[in-house]
Amino acid sequence: MSKASDFGVWEGEVTIDLPEQTDAGVYFLGRIRTPWTERKQCPKNARESDAVCTVEVDPRFAPGLKDVESCSHLVLLYWMDRAPRNIVLQVPGHYGVQRGTFALRSPARPNPIAMSVVRLLRIEGNRLSVIGLDCLDGTPLIDLKPYFASTDSVPDAVVGWHRKT
């Protein structure tokens, strides 16, 4: 563990040496089209925006979309390919307090996989129109799943550090 000094790493942030090799590989299944081309344009979280975004699934994988249209909400996993992966303690700009990476939803994490719950508006061929994303235009899609309220919805969940800020 060492004090961070790389470009893009802030005072108070701490990095680690990553393993020399990764352990498994992911396929990019398509791309997410959003109105945001720079990070500063992105909403801070997905509930801040009603923008309709488009998920373009590569034709190879599109047969797997059968029955997805019956889902009101989906879980999307996507690859935050511009984020550093070696930061374990970070200082989010809008909070100004050092937090552990795994206590944050920051894109900077060892595996830069974001998870968003989106509302599905419609599917046309291999293109899904959804509401509830906050990522950059062109972000690679790595999975989509049905959202089951029975297992995925916990209305009374608490993030203690956030409640205090």
Using CB under 8 A, which residues numbered 72 to 91 contact its own copies?
A: 72-73, 75, 77, 79, 81, 85, 88-89
What residues between 2 and 61 interact with its own copies by CB under 8 A?
14, 16-19, 21-29, 45-47, 57, 60-61
x-or-dash string of contact with its own copies, 88-117, rule CB under 8 A: xx--------xxxxxxxx---xxx-x-xxx
Strand, helix or coil at 51? coil
Q: How many C-beta atoms lie closer than 10 Å to residue 80's C-beta?
A: 18
Closest to 14 in 3D by CA, of 99, 90, 71, 92: 90
- Supply the minimum distance, in Å, between the C-beta of residue 32 and its own copies: 14
42 has which bridge partners? none
Closest to 30 in 3D by CA, of 1, 7, 64: 64
Confirm or reject binding of residue 66 to its own copies (CB under 8 A). Answer: yes
